[in-house]
Structure 1
Amino acid sequence: MRIVINFGRVVRPGQAALVKEVVAMGASRCCAENAQNWRNAFAAKSLLRPGKLVKASRFCRACAETGRNGGIGSTRRGRFRQRPSRPPAGIARIDGRGRIWPRSLVPTDPLRPTRRMPKTKTAAEKQRTLPIAAAAIPLHELTDGQEADLFAVLSAKTTLTTKDGKPYDRVTFRDAQREVSFPIWSDAPLAAACRDEWQVGAFYKLRALYRETNYGPQLDIRRIRPATDEDRDDGFDPAALVPASRFDPEEMFAQLAEIVQEHVADEAVRELVAAVLDDNRELILAIPAATRNHHAHRSGFLEHVLSVTRTCVYLADKYTELFPDLQPPLDKDLVVAGGVLHDIGKLRELQTTATGAEYTPAGTLIGHILQGRDILREVAAEHPIDPDKLLRLEHVIVAHQRLPEWGAPKPPMTPEALLVHYADDIDAKMQMMVNILAEDTTEGPLTGNRNPMGQKIYRGPLPDGADDQ
């Protein structure tokens, strides 16, 4: 006997609409008659879903066995419970929710052949075959929730491990004004391409969703491929993706050399400082001041040193005038020379890359403070100065970061070293604060505290019309 039961909207109050066609093969007459006058659609659904209880008062055991995969256990309070066991032979899974039906109840239509699913492409194949043709939007102009095409440089990629021991990659994409760092989990579609194909320092075109999260800005990458010269028509410009100083490096170098000539009165000290600058001119013109946090852009070292030296000139003049009776007198030559040379060891601590700078082995193992003293001693061997002045100048370099946790072997122990330290510190901190105010997208009068300074910064109420910009 073959009975087709069609039931539609549930009539009982509070039950959702239930639309399903049930094909019953071999059901007993009592249940077939009951099914013809089906008023409890919810009970019908329970009959055909394993793991549910079926009221014995409504369905006989034969029908329950037919609809419950033949797995009926003991009777308790007028209900049949399915025995938890592996489905016997003849059972088929027919829906995406994992429900198990007897093959005898599986609807079949000989006129509708089974559709074969197309072969699924890998994530890497999709990236190679899907073009990205839309005009790009700069990364630093994206707002929270905006999806767009953009160009960016992969500035960092690090393999890390979760608490569960699963590896993942943390990648950093950036343009000249914004940096976005986020994880690529090992089970993500792009994990294999990230691990095997993405190269640090390479330029990419992405289609991605930009999001502001509690962990900083992130990108949900939809598509990605290497950028080519053909993308220049869509706005691809490598120079616009690598951060650089706002000022011309040649002009900054000339201004620094002029300050040395004008404000260092001792000829031996002046020649020593000029020799250090001339011997390292090319590196000084290009290298960043750091890998992150402050002046971490092309020519950032020179920009920072010039600013610190100008502040040193001001402080030396101010405190020489304020404390004319200081003994020994404040040595302006050492203050200015210390401003120029305080970070000179970074020429060996860092090396330039396509996206900024990275630490050299010597930079990692020794740091820039001791290497700065080494450079000074090497040049002083060819341009000797008074031994006491050389010692004081070495101390300026060694003590300019003041705190041991910042890498300083000694705190400032001379007035000259103290002035250079604070000139250096205020310039670095001011640059950090400027960057935070420019890049933080937190709404309200205060920025977030996930930044290099580790604190919130008050920006105040927005000026009139700022929301429209």
Structure 2
Amino acid sequence: MYDCIEAIKQKRIKKIEKETFLVSEKHILKARNGDEYVGLKLKDRSGIIDAKIWNNLLHLKDRFEAGDFVKITGESNFYNDNWQVIIKDIEKIDEKDVDKKAFLPSTSKNLDQLQNELFGLIDSIKHPGLKKLLEEIFTDEVFFERFIHAPAAKSMHHAYVGGLLEHTVSVGKIALSLTKEYKDIDRDMLISCALLHDIGKVYELDPMTFNYTTEGKLIGHIIIGYTIVQNKLEKLNVSEDTKINLLHCILAHHGEYEYGSPKKPKTKEAILINLIDMLDSRMEPVLNAKIDENTGWSDMIRIIGKSIYAPKKQKELL
């Protein structure tokens, strides 16, 4: 159920008969000849795919909007090295008729275990001010409910329910392990920043479509997260140096201006968080890439800009 997109990309489905999708994007576009068409992005738990409505626009284009669940009849088509859906009929359906938990892609990891690991990392913090900060943020019930179900990105990495929690815990665990290797690192500062660096994504991304919210588009998760932490720090007994260093780590975790970073990392902890974040965000899609059983090659992995070769391991002949 709800895995039609994967089946299309694996060339198992040509004709699509009343399959359920979420419309994550809808655009009225013009073809080269000047004719209008509707360009869509469709989503189910197995992925995202482009779709187009070329014919019968007057009848079909106003039946639905972005964010709606729809049933579609049409055909799959391979064009410009990508699979797409050519829609012949589309109808909006009531979201109450969709099992949302089954529809959206979710982390394969155990949510309870991830939460335990998160709070284990918080409990390991010795600095009283930083520990209090983390506790106040992650024990806020409304925030935490959104946090544990949020994706970490729209599509690049950890783009599934629970993805933000999974990515945060992974960055935290890597940070902890590296403090044992690099002795001249402020352990509590590094782990605190690891757990806080992406909290703004709770408000940057829509939890259903994974599209950017208005707040996400206009402000972005780095400044949203910075503001959350700054407001909490003002009420805590934390030294000015600790405040500045932590806020710098959050502002600089994307590393470069061209990647949306307001500041470049200029402390040891900020440099290391940037590298850890980069490592985890790139390895997740690499490790979870779909590999063609015949060729051993994956599709293009957008975040690294290349395909990878990973043939199935074969037992050596005796």
Structure 1 contact 136–148 (Cα < 8 Å) conserved: no
Structure 2 contact 3–45 (Cα < 8 Å) conserved: no
Larger radius of gyration between Structure 1 and Structure 2: 1
State the match for 2:279 in structure 1. Answer: 426
Check if 1:212 corresponds to 2:81.
no
State the match for 1:298 in structure 2. Answer: 161
CA distance in 1, matches of 2:2, 2:159: 25
Structure 2 contact 64–91 (Cα < 8 Å) conserved: no
Instruction: State the identity as a percent.
Output: 26
Equivalent in 135, 142, 165 of residue 274 of structure 1: 135
- CA change 1:342–1:162 in 2 (3 A) is same
Deviations 1:43-85 (A, max 9, x none): xxxxxxxxxxxxxxxxxxxxxxxxxxxxxxxxxxxxxxxxxxx
State the match for 1:348 in structure 2. Answer: 203
CA distance in 2, matches of 1:446, 1:376: 43
1:250 deviates by: 4.2
Check if 1:318 corresponds to 2:171.
no
Query: The residue matched to 2:40 in structure 1 has which SS?
Result: strand
CA distance in 1, matches of 2:60, 2:115: 40
Query: The residue matched to 1:411 in structure 2 has which SS?
Result: coil
1:450 deviates by: 7.0
Equivalent in 36, 60, 63 of residue 197 of structure 1: 63
CA distance in 1, matches of 2:294, 2:24: 28
State the match for 1:181 in structure 2. Answer: 50
Structure 1 contact 216–450 (Cα < 8 Å) conserved: no
Q: Which runs of 5+ in 1 are unaligned?
A: 1-134, 321-328
Structure 1 contact 285–299 (Cα < 8 Å) conserved: yes
State the match for 1:338 in structure 2. Answer: 193
Check if 1:147 corresponds to 2:9.
no
1:237 deviates by: 4.2
1:137 deviates by: 7.3
CA distance in 2, matches of 1:260, 1:136: 37
Q: Which runs of 5+ in 2 are unaligned?
A: none
Deviations 1:243-289 (A, max 9, x none): 12223434422320121112x11111111111121232122122211
1:227 deviates by: 4.8
Query: The residue matched to 1:330 in structure 2 has which SS?
Result: coil
State the match for 1:256 in structure 2. Answer: 118
- CA change 1:335–1:240 in 2 (3 A) is same
Check if 1:415 corresponds to 2:268.
yes
1:415 deviates by: 1.1
1:223 deviates by: 4.1
Query: The residue matched to 1:358 in structure 2 has which SS?
Result: coil
Q: When the two structures are superposed, what TM-score results if normalisation uses the length of structure 1?
A: 0.60
CA RMSD of superposed structures (Å): 2.9
Higher relative contact order (CA 8 A, sep 6+): 2
Structure 2 contact 248–270 (Cα < 8 Å) conserved: yes
Deviations 1:339-358 (A, max 9, x none): 001112223323323x3x33
CA distance in 2, matches of 1:370, 1:226: 36
State the match for 2:257 in structure 1. Answer: 404
Aligned residues between the structures = 310
1:378 deviates by: 0.3
- CA change 1:173–1:292 in 2 (3 A) is same
Check if 1:161 corresponds to 2:27.
no
Q: When the two structures are superposed, what TM-score results if normalisation uses the length of structure 2?
A: 0.86
